[in-house]
Amino acid sequence: MDTVTSMKAFCAVVQEGGFSAAGRKLKLSKVLVSKYVGQLEDRLGARLFYRTTRKVRLTPTGEAYYLRVTPLLHELDDIEARVRDEHGEPEGLLRVAAPTSFAEIHLMPLVAAMLEKYPGLMLDIRLADRYVDLLEEQVDLAVRIGYLPDSSLVAQKLADIPVVWCASATYLERQGTPQTPADLMRHRVVFDSNYSGGDYWPVAQEGGIARLPLHKRVSVNSARAAKELALAGMGLARLPAFVIGDELASGELRPVLQEYWPEASAVYAVYPHRRHLSVRVRLFVEEAKVYFGTNPPTPPLV
Asked if residues 81 and 90 have their Cβ atoms less than 8 Å apart, the reply is yes
Tell me, yes or no, whether 178 and 253 share the same domain: yes
Same domain, 26 and 113: no
Looking at residue 262, its pLDDT comes to: 77
Q: How many contiguous H segments (helices) and E segments (strands) does the chain have?
A: 10, 14
Phi then psi dihedrals of residue 92, to 5 deg: 105, 180
Gap between the Cα atoms of 142 and 155, Å rounded: 9
Q: Please tell me whether residues 167 and 251 are part of one structural domain.
A: yes
Q: How many CA atoms lie within 13 A of 152 on its CB side?
A: 6
pLDDT score for 2:
82
CB-CB contact of 163 with 265 (8 Å) = yes
Please give the Cα distance from 252 to 214 (Å, whole number). Answer: 23
CA dihedral over 175, 178, 181, 182, signed as positive or negative = negative
Residues 255, 278: one domain? no
CA distance 191 to 235: 9
pLDDT of residue 11: 92
pTM over 0.75: no
Contact (CB, 8 A) for 155 and 268: yes
155 and 175 belong to one structural domain: no
Do 28 and 49 lie in a common domain?
yes
| CATH number for the domain that contains residue 11 | 1.10.10.10
Beta-bridge partners for 122: 93
| CA–CA dist 226, 116 (Å, integer) | 34
Q: Which amino acid is at 294?
A: T
According to DSSP, residue 206 is labeled T
Among 69, 85, 101, the domain boundary falls at 85
Strand 56-58 with 49-51, pairing: antiparallel
Divide the 302 residues of the chain into consecutive groups of 10 and give the mean pLDDT of each group. Answer: 87 90 90 92 92 85 91 79 65 89 90 92 89 82 78 85 91 93 88 74 77 82 92 93 89 91 83 73 91 81 56
Biggest CA–CA distance in the chain, Å, is 76
Please give the tally of structural domains in the chain: 3
Residues 80 and 203 in one domain: no
**Whether 200 and 64 share a structural domain:** no
Q: Are residues 124 and 212 in the same domain?
A: no
Output the DSSP codes for 101-125: HHIIIIIHHHHHHHHHH-TTEEEEE
Contact indicator for 104, 227 with CB cutoff of 8 Å: no
DSSP state of 195: S
265-272 and 253-255 as β-strands: parallel, antiparallel, unpaired? unpaired
Instruction: Give Cα 210 distance to the centre of its chain.
Output: 28
pLDDT at 269: 92
Q: Is 71 part of any domain? A: yes
28 and 38 within one domain: yes
> Is residue 164 within 8 Å of residue 244, measured between CB atoms?
yes
Instruction: Find, among 50, 48, 51, 79, the residue nearest to 65 by Cα.
Output: 48
Domain final residue, candidates 85, 120, 139: 85
Alpha helices per DSSP H over the chain: 3-16, 19-26, 30-44, 60-86, 100-102, 108-117, 169-175, 223-231, 241-250, 279-294
Total residues found in the chain within this entry: 302
Residue type for 138, please?
A: Q
Domain that holds residue 14: 3-85
What CATH number should be reported for the domain holding residue 183? 3.40.190.10
Residues 184, 217, single domain; the answer is yes
Q: What's residue 299's pLDDT?
A: 65
Q: Which of 85, 110, 129 is the last residue of a domain?
A: 85
pLDDT of residue 88: 60
Q: Can you give the pLDDT at residue 251? A: 92
